[in-house]
């Protein structure tokens, strides 16, 4: 039974990465999700590792949640939003340098902080909450305020909050 709880908060996206012969390999990634993925591998079993975001109610969202669960990342703090899906990004390589193109128009993660009660439930009892500058950048200003207020309530209840600035000027 886990004694401690780590929760990463942000946006996991479909990643299309160049493979071979002009084909792309599909995966799931994102800065805070990658942190949760590594945390699950590095933290002892006395820690639960979860992810908080919003996803759609479509097949690709189902696949993402199944991937997370298979990797040992708890998905109970993930909201499902009808009519939305997950964001997508594609990596392009030129002269060994990577560049990224993003599609986030219908990304449910942009609405993850629309429900303050859900935020409080997701953060309740957590020892460590982790988010990034990208988490904040994808949210509307009023949603950022709701997220920060919920983080403040969690801190007052004893949680620690870690923040990775992960500056992305284009965001």
Q: What is the pLDDT of residues 34-89, one digit of tens each?
A: 999 999 999 999 999 999 999 999 999 999 999 999 999 999 999 999 999 999 99
Query: What's the rounded mean pLDDT across residues 126-150?
Result: 97
CB neighbours of 136 closer than 8 A, spacing ≥ 6? 144, 147
What pLDDT is recorded for position 168?
67
Report the C-alpha gap between 16 and 28 in whole angstroms.
Answer: 9
pTM score: 0.93
Mean pLDDT confidence for 99-111:
95
Angle between helices 116-123 and 141-156 (to 10 degrees): 40
Whole-number Cα distances in Å, 123 to 6, 64, 69, 106: 10, 21, 19, 25
Confidence of residue 2 (pLDDT cuts 50, 70, 90): confident
Which H or E run includes 154?
helix 141-156
- Identify the residue whose tokens are 């780590």: 6
In this predicted structure, what is the pLDDT of residue 96? 83
Residue 171 has pLDDT above 70, yes or no: no
Query: pLDDT band at 1, cuts 50/70/90?
Result: low
Cα 5 to its chain centre, rounded Å, is 16
Predicted pLDDT at 22: 86
CB atoms within 10 A of CB 150: 23
* Residue 170 CB burial class (10 angstroms; 0-12, 13-18, ≥19): exposed
CATH superfamily of 4-164: Ribokinase (3.40.1190.20)
Average pLDDT, the chain: 95
The pLDDT of residue 106 is above 70? yes
Please state whether beta strands 97-103 and 88-94 pair in parallel, antiparallel, or not at all (unpaired). antiparallel
Residue 85 is classified by DSSP as B
In this prediction, residue 158 has a pLDDT band, given cuts at 50, 70 and 90, of very high
């Amino acid at each position: 039974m886990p004694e401690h709880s780590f929760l990463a908060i942000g946006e996991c996206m479909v990643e299309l990465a160049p493979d071979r012969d002009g084909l792309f390999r599909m995966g799931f990634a994102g800065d805070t999700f990658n942190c949760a993925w590594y945390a699950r591998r590095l933290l002892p079993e006395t820690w639960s590792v979860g992810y908080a975001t919003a996803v759609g109610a479509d097949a690709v969202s189902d696949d993402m949640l199944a991937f997370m669960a298979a990797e040992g990342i708890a998905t109970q703090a993930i909201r499902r939003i009808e009519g939305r899906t997950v964001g997508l990004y594609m990596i392009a390589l030129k002269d060994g340098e990577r560049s990224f193109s993003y599609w986030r128009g219908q990304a449910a993660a942009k609405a993850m902080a629309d429900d303050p009660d859900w935020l409080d439930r997701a953060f309740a009892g957590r020892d460590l909450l982790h988010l990034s500058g990208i988490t904040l950048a994808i949210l509307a200003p009023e949603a950022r305020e709701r997220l920060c207020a919920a983080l403040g309530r969690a801190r007052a209840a004893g949680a620690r909050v870690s923040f990775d600035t992960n500056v992305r000027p284009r965001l």
